[in-house]
Amino acid sequence: MLSLSKKSDAQPVAAPLWHANFRNFERLPDTKVVRTTFFINTAAIAIAAGMLLWVGSRELANRSVREQITEAQRQIDSNKAQNAEAIRLSKVFADEQKKLDDTAAYVRTPISPLEFIDLMGQTLTKEFIIDSIDIRMGEAKNSVFSVRGRVAGSPDTASGLASSYVDMLKANPRLTAVFDPITLSRIDRSPEGSYMTFDISLTLKTEKK
């Protein structure tokens, strides 16, 4: 009887095929359907286009601002002469208005400067000398007649004479009808000590409505 044996046992196992791999992968062409360089180039172009659009929009905005500044400066230059003329006329008007107000206040004054000076001359005694009379017209509360002068005598005597003179002015019917208050606002001793300087303020009464 012949003995049966497996085929694998009867035949030797064949050695696997082998050969050297000489391929250069860096030089082989890209066989992908969409190449990687396409995405890189597309991204670079998109970034460059976005930068160009941004720079363009900024330039347009800056150009618009420059045009607005130029137009505003042109309007300022064109209105400069008119503004200067308006300021000049406004100053002229203010000066004329002040003159009119002073004139109106003078007309409304219940006592004229000449009458006031005459009254002061009538009330003076030999001890007094008037150096100046200052009359300021304006609103009733700001209309003040100031009398500055000198009174002879020692400090005590001169001070008493000045106070008595103010009391005499307050007792004058014409002056009290026009002025309120009448005050001795200042009295000082002269450097030589031979007389006293005084300052009397007479404020016009407020006009009644």
The residue-averaged pLDDT of 184-199 equals 82
Residues 167 and 148 in one domain: yes
pTM above 0.85, yes or no: no
Residues 131 and 195 in one domain: yes
Is a pLDDT exceeding 70 seen at residue 208?
no
The residue-averaged pLDDT of 34-43 equals 70
- Rounded distance between C-alpha atoms, residue 2 and residue 119, angstroms: 178
C-alpha dihedral (169, 173, 133, 106), degrees to nearest 10: 150
Residues contacting 102, CB < 8 A, separation 6+? 137, 138
The residue-averaged pLDDT of 176-199 equals 83
- Place 6 in a pLDDT band, splitting at 50, 70 and 90: very low
Residues 194 and 129 in one domain: yes
Asked if residue 7 is part of any domain, the answer here is: no
Q: Which residue, of 72, 88, 108, is where some domain finishes?
A: 108
Can you say whether the dihedral through the CA atoms of 167, 168, 169, 174 is positive or negative?
Answer: positive
Beta bridge partners of residue 151, listed in sequence order? 128, 196
Q: Which range marks the domain in which residue 131 is found?
A: 113-204
Is a pLDDT exceeding 80 seen at residue 13?
no
Domain count, the chain: 2
- Place 1 in a pLDDT band, splitting at 50, 70 and 90: very low
- Rounded distance between C-alpha atoms, residue 152 and residue 193, angstroms: 10
Is a pLDDT exceeding 60 seen at residue 3?
no
**What percent of the chain is modeled with pLDDT above 90?**
0
Residue pair 200/146 in contact (Cβ under 8 Å)? The answer is yes
The residue-averaged pLDDT of 196-200 equals 88
